[in-house]
Structure 1
Amino acid sequence: MDGWMDEKVSTDVEMTDPDVGAVMGFSGFGKKARTFDLEAIFEQTRRTAIERSRKVLEEERSVVRPSDPTSCAGRSGHTGDSTRSPVDSESGSDDSDNGSEKTGPTLPSQMSRLDVEGESAMGPPLPQGYGKQQCETDEEEEEDDGDEEEDDEDKNPLKRIPDSHEITLTHGKKTVSALGLDPSGARLVTGGYDYEVKLWDFAGMDASLQAFRSLQPCECHQIKSLQYSSTGDVILCVAGSAQAKVLDRDGFQVMECVKGDQYIVDQAKTKGHTAMLNSGVWHPKIKEEFVTCSNDGTVRTWDMNNEKKHKSVFKPRSMQGKRVIPTTCVYSRDGKLIAAACQDGSIQIWDRTVNVHTKFHNRQAHAPGSDTSCLSFSYDGNTLASRGGDDTIKTWDMRNFRNPLNVASGLPNIFPMTDCCFSPDDKLLVTGTSVKRGQENGKLLFFDRETFQKLYEIEVTDASVIRCLWHPKLNQIMVGTGNGLAKVYYHPVKSQRGAKLCVVKTKRKAKQSQTVTQEYVITPHALPMFREPRQKSTRKQLEKDRLDPVKSHKPEPPVSGPGRGGRVGTHGGTLSSFIVKNIALDKTDDSNPREAILRHAKEAEQNPYWVAPAYVKTQPHAVFAAPETEEEMEDDEPEWKKRKL
């Protein structure tokens, strides 16, 4: 190829403009860039590929090649001489006579079915490396085994259930009524009947499995629903109060919905809910919007940017047109529909933009008077699952909402927030059962979505199974129970991150500080008289503090005697004991107060201290009346005072 390629390459040296060269001080800018005729190169490559393929086909027709895997190297399309096949070397010798190199690849044996008699049958030139064949190696066998396992999992969805390992997170002693996992699967939030909300970080936890934060966002109200937003930066907290709250990832309040006026009859005229909330979820596409439902008979949508008023109001109605209480609400997967289940057993679905009339409704979806605890849309958006308070679970086709697709009964449900959810592959439906504590074990049941046959069950604990959540990214199942536990089921191979991060970490030992010393403050620009000496070691500093009489001040001993310096003496050491001893227990008889006072008259006259010194000049001689007898006192009395006999 070098012969014809060199003919096409121009190697002439062009001299520049003499004026430019004279100004800049040189005669030329160098050699001109080499140019190639691409059409000629492609044509030559095509011709070489055709000739080589023709010789390979002739050789294969005459000689039957062995099936040894090492022969793959001989049929490979490498252009290097070290991996060239015998046929390639023969064709290479012929091509070298013509003065050109082999640049085109060889064609595989499968090309024998093609017509290669004419050049036009080959079409455009094949790319380099087209004729490479892969040998059957161990890696290919492993890939085939992996494909077979995937096929088996597709045929048997039970193999996708990650239940080989589990961890237990202790939330408290009361029911875990709310579970939430962020979209990335890094943090879990739990809430319960004990008003507590706990945050768990899988990456930061160790084998002790302790929550990194615990708080009571709604004071004395039971937590009913917790959910991370689509971006995972905030948490929607719905409790038994009338005001939903939005918390950030660390549990601090970001927003609180306004409470409506409970004295207004028309709920559409109020700015918020006026009764206890039942449920709430985020919009799957719009990260600032969420929906809540309440006992005031309304379903309201909210915007995080406007906490002073709701965004829109949906009012479910019974068959008679009366107000009915919604027990749960949910968005569809695309966020266009809002579904709510009501206490009269109905399921009502609205278009998100039209809040007047329902788009779909079924008045007899579940038994009247039962609280439907959960609604869940499938990932394809065509199926709606409902967990009823009448101990049933049903699936509904959104294209024909009149009759249920499948029904499973005999599933006890005594909690108003018992969950149901779809598996990530949309082939299984999962729900929990309620039991009386200590009598039976609560179970997590797996149903086939198409046939509604119970395929598998997991005995969780000796209490009710309320919340269940199957994360699609982690492939882990989170379960909330009635005895205050939150369990996480995972598989070491099929699951990703999540609980696998914390179980491998050893429990950290708390560091115990033996001494507490004063912190050393570095002030390089302070005056020498205010600058603290640099501490060399803690031991030396403790020794200096021991020698300091102020820092190592000995505690004062108890006072003996009557007391001094404002300190009360012994005999109990308290003021009350001093009063009891000196005053309350004084045995002096003060039945005659006059005698008690005159007892000190002589001493007061000789050593006046309180009253007498003030009257020394004005009243030098005190004259006191002598005591009189009763007869004299009666004679001195006037006539009108004398008692008549």
Structure 2
Amino acid sequence: MDSNNTEDEMTNDGDITSVMGFSGFGKKARTFDLEAIFEQTRRTAIERSRQVLDDREKEIEVQGESSSLVVTQKDAEKAAAASKKKDTDSSGSDSEPVDPPPHGEEEEEEDDDDLVGPPLPPGYKDGAPQSDSDDEDEDGQSDEDDEDDNPVKKIPDTHEITLLHGTKTVSAMALDPSGARLVTGGYDFDVRFWDFAGMDRALQAFRSLQPCDCHQIRALQYSITGDRILVVSGNAQAKVLDRDGFNVMECIKGDQYIVDMVNTKGHTAMLNDGSWHPKIKEEFMTCSNDGTVRTWDVTSEKKHKSVFKPRSVQGKKVTPTCCAYSRDGKLIAAGCQDGTIQIWDRNLSVHTKFHCRQAHTPGSDISRICFSYDGTILASRGGDDTLKIWDIRNFKKPLNTANGLTNYFAMTDCCFSPDDQLIVTGTSVKKDQGNGKLAFFDRATFQRVYEIEVTNASVVRCLWHPKLNQIMVGTGNGLAKVYYDPVKSHRGAKLCVVKSKTKVKHAEALAQEYVITPHALPMFREARQRSTRKQLEKDRLDPKKSHKPEPPVSGPGRGGRVAAHGGTLSSFIVKNIALDKTDDSNAREAILRHAKEASENPYWVAPAYKKTQPNPVFAEDSEEDEEADKEPEWKKRKI
């Protein structure tokens, strides 16, 4: 009986679940059979490896069939010698039996032989005749090898585009890591944003702003992620902008009355340079005329992270003019105003790790220092018209020096090529005294292997982007030039030169549109539009719309309108005054000129009193008035 009840309950539950549309209450935990999974994986791997082996065996069989057709003379000699040796062994001599060689030993001996069979006839290679195209391929490959050996052929300078920043010096320039956007800053306080993918042949910047008011832009740089821009200007506070130019943070200004710069929270004098950390995206560095190099964190703008103080031989304060991180971010280098280069460990801010006294002429500002991509070489551009490279492992003497590179700017650049074989820098010229050049030096020999005449002004900034393989140059006359090669370069300037200029859309006078509102009330509903002819006939019956405009006035004028002497009443009056030939230089004579006519024919006052007072009666002075006139001014009664 109980069993029947349980069966009925189970059937009822099944009916309920089928009607309600669910299979059970709650979810069950999934179980995995690991052994079955491993077994399935093993079988799949065995099948794949077996398929690969079968394919290889098929290739070997095909090659064996083709090679078996050629029977060489040496193989025949070896086979004859082996058969002869076998006959002597089977003849029953007194010598000990010789064991046969193990399987595969004979094949190894054959492989050891360099030449198998007679030499191939001329014109054949690997069993097949060699065509002229193979020779051409070899020549092309040799040319490519020569190009790899010659770094000058890698310079992308066959084409160029010119971006007009302004009329003053382009003193700062930066490219984002992807190479999609270029930012330029100059002495005209402007920062301009250029988007290569969005520009056409007009080459116009899509945004221009003045982030630091009326301060010259000294340095610009994108962060490693490309979403922030460091702006270093002539004031004491560096700014960080986002990708579209909106303010993210502004460094705090320090207290200029504190002697020890370590105890202040920020810079107290004009900034000279700045740089982002190559590994940490929130950290950047600035150097200032207050004699310090400070590191900052974007998340905390109220105080710097650490302070580095360059010192002279006597231990006095020295002004850093440029600064840079090493490629791994562990070292901080600063070029100073006294010609020294000082390098600190990023985590030890007191003593320098490397220090070179008189790296450049004392008193000359070092305009730029740059680390090579391998991290062992440091290039420095000095105000003494030199370019030097240093090995930081032996930092006492420069490896090579180039002289005669004129430098008039405090931010003249130098940089390494993407393959680290060339060093690039710009030269300065005075106005209308030659062309500024971009000089290329071989890193090994330090010979000037190439140069580009940019424009008739100084070359200040230069960048060689490793991904785009394009060179950006900022000049002293407000131009930013981009050099590229259609074959060797990628994207960048190649994207905008292929686009045609967009036509300017002129504002057109739109006719009054007819709006159909089918569900509007009758009082708000507009009449259905008729044909043009009927509408014109209807407008002709309207007195306002068909009113003929008045023709221009001819003659002296009528109805308050002035004749065609001038467009307005004022012009009419001015013209009449100009036509008046009377001389009003003597005012008394001009007034007395009308005295006789005024006495004979009075017009203003006399006609009013002609009937009531034909003879004018004037007031006589009384004694009181005479006494009042004799009184001093302070006693007179005020009326």
Q: Which category of TM-score, normalised to the shorter sequence, fits these structures? A: 0.5 to 0.7
> How far 1:218 sits from its partner (Å)?
2.1
CA distance in 1, matches of 2:493, 2:166: 19
The aligned amino acid for 2:356 is N
CA distance in 2, matches of 1:526, 1:149: 81
CA deviations 1:567-606 (Å, max 9, x no partner) are xx964179999999xxxx9999999xxx999758759999
Indicate the SS of the match to 1:167.
strand
Distance in 1 between residues matched to 2:158 and 2:520, nearest whole Å: 64
Deviation at 1:200, TM superposition (A): 1.4
Partners of 1:241 and 1:277 within 8 A in 2: yes
Query: Paired residue for 1:210?
Result: 204
Secondary structure (helix, strand or coil) at the match of 2:570 reads coil
Query: Residue 374 of structure 1 contacts residue 418 of structure 1 at CA under 8 Å; is this kept in 2?
Result: yes
Partner of 1:239: 233
- Partner residue, 2:500: 506
Asked whether 1:401 is paired with 2:395, we answer: yes
Task: For structure 2, list consecutive stretches of 5 or more residues without a partner in the other structure.
Answer: 1-13, 15-35, 73-103, 111-126, 562-566, 579-583, 596-601, 632-639
Equivalent residue for 1:572, pick from 566, 570, 573? 570
Question: SS in structure 1 opposite 2:460?
Answer: strand
User: Structure 1 residue 396: deviation in Å?
Assistant: 1.2
Out of 223, 228, 238, the position equivalent to 1:229 is 223
Q: Distance in 2 between matches of 1:537 and 1:248?
A: 57
For 1:495, the aligned partner's letter is: S
Closer/same/farther in 2, CA of residues 46 and 479 from structure 1, 3 Å limit: closer
Question: In the superposition, relative to structure 1, how do residues 526 and 494 fare at CA in structure 2: closer, same or farther (>3 Å)?
Answer: farther
Following superposition, the deviation at residue 258 of structure 1 comes to 2.1
Matched, 1:187 2:193: no
Instruction: Give me the whole-angstrom Cα distance separating, in 2, the residues matched to 1:487 and 1:182.
Output: 17
Counterpart in the other structure of 2:276:
282
- What is the distance in 2 between the residues matched to 1:52 and 1:111? 24
Indicate the residue corresponding to 1:609 in structure 2.
none
What residue in structure 2 maps to residue 414 of structure 1? 408
Matching residue's letter, 1:511? K
Counterpart of 1:64 in structure 2 is 70
Give the partner amino acid of 2:70.
Answer: V
Displacement after TM superposition at 1:157 (Å) = 1.2
By how many angstroms is 1:492 displaced? 1.0
Q: Which runs of 5+ in 1 are unaligned?
A: 1-23, 25-32, 67-109, 117-132, 607-625
Instruction: State the Cα distance separating 1:264 from its structure 2 match.
Output: 2.3
Q: Percent identity?
A: 65
Please tell me the residue identity of whatever aligns with 2:447: Q
* Residue 340 in structure 1 maps to residue 338 in structure 2: no
Taking structure 2 as the reference length, the TM-score comes to 0.68
When residues 317 and 527 of structure 1 are mapped into structure 2, their CA distance, relative to the original with a 3 A threshold, is: farther
Q: Is the 8 A contact 1:260 1:271 kept in 2?
A: yes
Code of the aligned partner of 1:388: G
Is contact 1:571-1:578 (8 Å) kept? no
In the other structure, the counterpart of 1:296 is 290
Deviation at 1:473, TM superposition (A): 0.4
1:485 equivalent in alignment to 2:482: no
**What SS does structure 2 have at the residue aligned with 1:572?**
helix
Q: Structure 1 385/56 Cα, relative in aligned 2: closer, same or farther at 3 Å?
A: closer
Could you tell me which residue of structure 1 aligns to residue 315 of structure 2? 321
1:307-318 aligned within 5 A: 307-318=301-312
Structure 2 match to 1:382: 376
2:264 matched to which residue of 1? 270
Give the AA of the match of 2:206.
Answer: F
Contact 1:274 1:296 in 2 (8 A): yes
| Alpha carbons 1:196, 1:215 under 8 Å: kept | yes
Partner SS state of residue 496, structure 2? helix
Residues 597 and 508 from structure 1, CA distance in 2 versus in 1: closer, same or farther, beyond 3 angstroms? closer
1:459 corresponds in structure 2 to: 453
Structure 2 match to 1:330: 324
Q: CA–CA distance in 1 between the matches of 2:246 and 2:548?
A: 45
Structure 2 equivalent of residue 159 of structure 1: 153
Equivalent residue of 1:425, what SS?
A: coil
- Secondary structure of 1:327's counterpart equals strand
Write the distance in 1 (CA, Å) between the matches of 2:449 and 2:261. 45
What do the CA deviations read for 1:280-329 (whole angstroms, capped 9, x no partner)? 11111222221111111111112222223222221111111111111001
Structure 2 CA distance, aligned partners of 1:347 and 1:468?
A: 21
Structure 2 counterpart of 1:384, one-letter code: L
Q: CA deviation at 1:153?
A: 2.9
Question: In structure 2, the residue corresponding to 1:404 is in which secondary structure?
Answer: coil
Question: Offset of 1:538 from its aligned partner?
Answer: 13
Cα deviations across residues 3-30 of structure 1 (Å, max 9, x unaligned)? xxxxxxxxxxxxxxxxxxxxx9xxxxxx
Q: Does 1:256 align with 2:262?
A: no
> What SS is found at the alignment partner of 1:151?
helix
Distance 2:577 2:253 in 1: 58
Tell me how far apart the structure 1 counterparts of residues 59 and 363 of structure 2 sit (CA, whole Å).
80
Q: Given residue 241 of structure 1, which amino acid in structure 2 is its aligned partner?
A: N
Aligned to 1:124: none
Superposed displacement of residue 260, structure 1: 2.0
- 1:476 maps to what in 2? 470
**How far is 1:45 from its partner?**
9.4
Contact 1:523 1:531 in 2 (8 A): yes
1:155 deviation in Å?
A: 1.3
For the 8 Å contact 1:318–1:324, the answer to whether it is kept is yes
Following superposition, the deviation at residue 628 of structure 1 comes to 6.7
Q: Which runs of 4+ in 1 moved over 3 A?
A: 35-63, 110-116, 133-150, 516-564, 573-580, 585-591, 595-606, 626-630, 633-638
Query: Where does residue 352 of structure 1 map in the other structure?
Result: 346
Deviations 1:406-460 (A, max 9, x none): 1111211111111110010111111111122322222111111122122111121
1:428 to 422, 430, 435: 422
Measure, in 2, the Cα distance between the counterparts of 1:55 and 1:371: 74
Moved more, 235-244 or 472-481: 235-244
Distance change >3 Å, CA 45–CA 534, structure 1 → 2? same
Give the number of equivalent residue pairs: 529
From the superposition, tell whether residues 507 and 316 of structure 1 become closer, same or farther in structure 2 (CA, over 3 Å).
same
Correspondence 1:363 to 2:357: yes
CA contact (8 A) 1:223 1:237 kept: yes
Cα distance in 2 for partners of 1:268, 1:551 equals: 85
- Residues 629, 506 of structure 1: alpha-carbon distance in 2 compared, 3 angstrom cutoff: closer
Amino acid at match of 1:363: R
Deviates more, 1:245-254 or 1:388-397: 245-254
> In 2 relative to 1, CA 412–59 (structure 1 residues): closer, same or farther, beyond 3 Å?
closer
TM superposition shift of 1:257? 2.0
- C-alpha offsets along residues 83-104 of structure 1, whole Å, 9 cap, x if unaligned? xxxxxxxxxxxxxxxxxxxxxx
Q: CA deviation at 1:493?
A: 0.6
Cα offsets for 1:459-517 (capped at 9, x unmatched): 21222111110000010111111122211111111110111111112222212234256
Matched residue, 1:93: none
Partners of 1:560 and 1:570 within 8 A in 2 = no
Structure 2 match to 1:306: 300
Residue number in structure 2 paired with 1:79 = none
Asked whether the 8 Å contact 1:572–1:578 carries over to 2, the reply is: no
**Partner Cα distance (2:128, 2:527) in 1:** 76
Q: Secondary structure at the match of 2:301?
A: coil
Question: Which amino acid is the alignment partner of residue 572 of structure 1?
Answer: S
Cα distance change, pair 600–250 in 1 and its aligned pair in 2 (3 A): farther
When the two structures are superposed, what TM-score results if normalisation uses the length of structure 1? 0.67
Q: Counterpart of 2:303 in structure 1: which amino acid?
A: K
Deviates more, 1:205-214 or 1:551-560: 551-560
Report the AA paired with residue 373 of structure 2: Y
Give yes or no for contact 1:236–1:245 (8 Å, CA) kept in 2: yes
Distance 2:160 2:53 in 1: 65
In the superposition, relative to structure 1, how do residues 456 and 40 fare at CA in structure 2: closer, same or farther (>3 Å)? Answer: closer
